[in-house]
Amino acid sequence: MVNNTKHVKEPLVHLTRRLNVSPLFAWLIRIGAFILSILVCCIVSCILSPKVNFGSFFKYLFEGAFGSSKLVTTLLRDLAIYLILALAVTPCFQMRYWNIGGEGQAMMGAFGCSLVIANTAGKMPVWATIALSFAAALVMSVLWAVIPALFKAKWNTNETLLTLMFNYIAVCLGAFLIKKVEPKGTGILAFKEGTLSSLGVSDFWIIFLVAAVMTVFMYVYQKYSKHGYEISVVGESPNTARYVGINTKKVVIRTLLLCGLISGVAGYLLVSVKDSSFLSDSTTQSTVAGRGFTAVLISWLAHFHPLAMALTSFLVVFINRGATQVGNMARLGNSYAGMMVGIFFFFIIATEFFINFQIHFRAKAPAVPKEDRPAPAPEEPKPAEPGRE
Amino acid sequence: MKKMLIRIISVALAAVMLVACLASCGNSTDAKDEIVLPAFEGIEKQTVSGEIPETFKIGLICLHDKNSTYDKNFITAMEEVQAELGLKDSQVLISTGIPEGAECKDKAIEMAEAGCQVIIADSFGHESYMMEAAAQYPNVLFAHCTGTKAHTATDLNNYVNAFASIYEGRYLAGVVAGLKLKEMIDAGKITADKAKVGYVGAFTYAEVISGYTSWFLGVRSIVPEATMEVTFTGSWYDETAENNAAKKLISNGCVLISQHADSMGAPNACEEAGVPNVSYNGSTFSACPNTFLISSRINWAPYYKYLINCKVNGQTAVKDYIGTLKTGSVELTNLGAAVAEGTKDRIIETRNKLANGTLKVFDTSKFTVNGETLTKHLADVDDFGDYVGETNVIEGGAFVESKYRSAPYFDLKIDGITLLDEKYG
């Protein structure tokens, strides 16, 4: 006997959106994913090198991050730099303006700062060079942030592409500057005078304090200011924004101005405080060194919450520095730390998926054929209308 | 059923492709062996006297990792020294991928804090950062290879430079190339006026100029008519650029190529075109069995041992250490199967002459600059960033390279060499 009944196959897995996810549940999943990612890093490392075992992996990981007071301050300083860069792009994302040009904006800040130091150091009083270089950093960075915003406001161009391409233009401009200043140099501008660090201030404290102040500022700005409110309205619905009388174009440009200012500070701190030099070979071999791209991820993972961003940037720096130590001790080469950070990001991004969706697996029992399904219950006969006799 | 069949076929196809790929990646079977070149006989081996304390630590900061032949030389030498002296992994800290920027200073300080008594950095651009770290940790010995500033930094007693007289190694490699050229002329493959060799350089710095000039003088010692074209890539490691540069030289009519850049770009281009190649920093025989002639390299192990010996015994390390054939710092690899007959004996003979001083690489009677023989030349030995020469380096009828400082300062453009381009920084 031929069975002609058609089976409607239920898919092996199907997803439903979770509604009302409790924050506690979300954080438990995130912490779980973090631990899992470290364990996977550990297993991969053990496979890669016979010099690594479970114990030594964790020993080197923590040694590299917290091994001495010097290492802790370096870790916090690096964290602060990531945090400032992430804070810069955050209001743009809240507004759903996809600014992935934080890298280039900070690069241009560094560019402006270097331009002034290279031309005025030694010819002016130190304080004048410092003030001028700081102003130049802000101007260049704001310029780099606002140009794509103007294009967006005026012609509705795609800001994602424009800001991305601006990163590469910034690196080329930086390379051009270095060539101009030192045509026969080694490709890096080193500054002895005219920097904040030449005054003997601690790079750690300056960067750390600036980051702390900015974090608090951004928190208040987002949460309690009218600007912050306007940003969130524009982000959620531009139409609503228009109905309530918000000038969207103005908000976009104003927000990018703020973003440029913060990026400019980051660029300035990198040149004048942290490095005392300027490098611009490529997006990875430069003063900003790709941090602007990582900052985008840091901001997203923290759901644009400034305090949570401090945590995500801590995790990134921790894994990076810890893994570098593991890689050096096990002689695994330079790409190793990048790989570990990659594994970490992979897990954390996957986590967002599991927080937002629930997975249902097909039940073990065979799917019920269509015919056998209980027929929809016949409509209840309407109660007879009462007679009108 | 049909679906199953398709699956089986696709899996089978994938397997066949994998096997084919593996087979093609394996070594070809017609392996001609390389010719073993015995090590120089007169090496005065550096030893470490006295007990190395358990707490002793040495750090090495590298620009790239082992993928770059240049850094590989530093790392493998350190591993050899570690094994020879029986140091534990925790006593030998190696950091790779440290850019020529502030990160170098951070790393050096980190190593000093971790208890390293000797810290070595390997790239030219690391120098200023090493000096900054040295000023902060006067009890730690900071050594910088290829650096130029130690001899003028008289207030920094714990900061030293080192390099090797690798121009002697280059010269010997040039002799191997010259013998190959002569073989090609004798066999009628080329005429003597077509004896043009090519050189792929990284930057137009003294280190590279010194390298290609000594190599060229080696070639000319066998084939006096030889000329050379040089092109620069503007990077220490850029496989595509080096490959293209070698191809350009070959199409310009260069019949033999050498290089001073760190990737396999040029050797691979030569192997593809069947043009003999003199390598640098290590043998490329296994990848280029038909065209590899010889390679010179710096062995850093003697210097590491010298530094450890100084530190352990409380001696002061010299400001400028110059590794030579005698210290075992200048090494030649084995010869490739493609070299001309009699090369091995000729190299041993020339090597002995160089080592005992009867032969000088930069003998002024062997080259001219703008048609004239040099009697005086001011080189930029004291590096204050001014690029102005201040020290006369012509002594006793020769340009004395690596005497006034360890890093090369030969910056003359001698006749017979055409620079197709120049690249700085």
Q: With 0-12 CB in 10 A as exposed, 13-18 as middle and 19+ as buried, what is A109?
A: buried
pLDDT value for B3 = 59
Q: With 0-12 CB in 10 A as exposed, 13-18 as middle and 19+ as buried, what is A19?
A: exposed
Question: A185, B106: Cβ pair inside 8 Å?
Answer: no
pLDDT value for A385 = 46
| Average pLDDT rounded to a whole number, residues A57-79 | 92
**Ordered domains of chain B (ranges, CATH):** 58-165+300-323 (3.40.50.2300)
Chain A residues near residue B66 by CB distance under 8 angstroms: 333
Q: With 0-12 CB in 10 A as exposed, 13-18 as middle and 19+ as buried, what is A182?
A: middle
Q: How distant is the alpha carbon of residue B108 from its chain centre?
A: 24
Q: Name the token pair of A368.
A: 């019920």
Tell me if A107 is assigned to some domain: yes
Question: A285, B99: Cβ pair inside 8 Å?
Answer: yes
Contacts of B272 (CB under 8 A, 6+ apart): none
| Average pLDDT rounded to a whole number, residues A264-284 | 92
Tell me if A55 is assigned to some domain: no
Question: A331, B94: Cβ pair inside 8 Å?
Answer: yes
Q: Which residue of A has its CA nearest to B75?
A: A331
Q: With 0-12 CB in 10 A as exposed, 13-18 as middle and 19+ as buried, what is B64?
A: buried
Question: B125, A285: Cβ pair inside 8 Å?
Answer: no
Tell me if A270 is assigned to some domain: yes
Q: Name the token pair of A251.
A: 């908000």
Angle at B299 between CA B297 and CA B303, to 5 degrees: 145
Residue B78 distance to chain A (closest CA, Å): 12
Q: What is the CATH number of the domain that holds A324?
A: 1.10.3470.10
Question: B89, A190: Cβ pair inside 8 Å?
Answer: no
State whether residue B235 sits within 8 Å of chain A by CB.
Answer: no
Does residue A4 have a pLDDT over 90?
Answer: no
Does residue A182 have a pLDDT over 90?
Answer: no
Tell me if A203 is assigned to some domain: yes
Q: Which domain holds residue A133?
A: 71-332
**Structure confidence by residue, pLDDT tens digits, B31-56:** 578 899 999 988 999 999 988 999 99
Phi, then psi, of B335 in degrees rounded to 5: -85, 145
In chain A, % helix, strand, coil (3-state, to 5) comes to 70, 5, 30
Beta-bridge mates of residue B372 = B369
Chain B residues near residue A179 by CB distance under 8 angstroms: 425
* Rounded Cα–Cα distance for residues B29 and B64 (Å): 34
Q: With 0-12 CB in 10 A as exposed, 13-18 as middle and 19+ as buried, what is A311?
A: middle
Question: B101, A275: Cβ pair inside 8 Å?
Answer: yes
Tell me if A381 is assigned to some domain: no
Task: Determine contact, residues A288/A267, Cβ cutoff 8 Å.
Answer: yes
Contacts of B35 (CB under 8 A, 6+ apart): B334, B335, B336, B337, B339, B343, B344
pLDDT value for B27 = 46
pLDDT value for A389 = 37
Residue B337 distance to chain A (closest CA, Å): 32
Beta-bridge mates of residue A359 = A15
Contacts of A39 (CB under 8 A, 6+ apart): none
Residue B198 distance to chain A (closest CA, Å): 24
Using CB atoms and an 8 Å cut-off, which of residues 354-393 of chain B contact chain A? 387
The contact set of A with B (CB < 8 A) is 51, 67-68, 70-71, 74, 178-179, 182-188, 190, 274-277, 279, 285, 287, 289, 324, 327-329, 331, 333-335
Q: Name the token pair of B251.
A: 């199409």
**Structure confidence by residue, pLDDT tens digits, B137-180:** 999 999 999 999 999 998 999 999 999 999 999 999 999 999 99
Beta-bridge mates of residue A214 = none
Q: How many domains does chain A have?
A: 1
Question: A179, B425: Cβ pair inside 8 Å?
Answer: yes
pLDDT band at A203 (very low <50, low <70, confident <90, very high): confident
* Rounded Cα–Cα distance for residues B310 and B38 (Å): 30
**Structure confidence by residue, pLDDT tens digits, B374-410:** 999 999 888 887 778 889 999 989 999 999 999 999 9
Tell me if A126 is assigned to some domain: yes
Q: Which residue of B has its CA nearest to A184?
A: B424
**Structure confidence by residue, pLDDT tens digits, A69-119:** 889 999 999 999 999 999 999 999 999 999 999 999 999 999 999 999 999
Residue A219 distance to chain B (closest CA, Å): 31
Closest partner residue to A333 (CB to CB) among B66, B106, B113 is B66
* Rounded Cα–Cα distance for residues A362 and A367 (Å): 9
- SS3 label, residue B233: coil
Question: A186, B94: Cβ pair inside 8 Å?
Answer: no
> In which region does residue B159 sit, left (phi positive, over 0), alpha (psi from -120 to 50) or beta (all else)?
beta
Q: Which residue of B has its CA nearest to A187?
A: B425
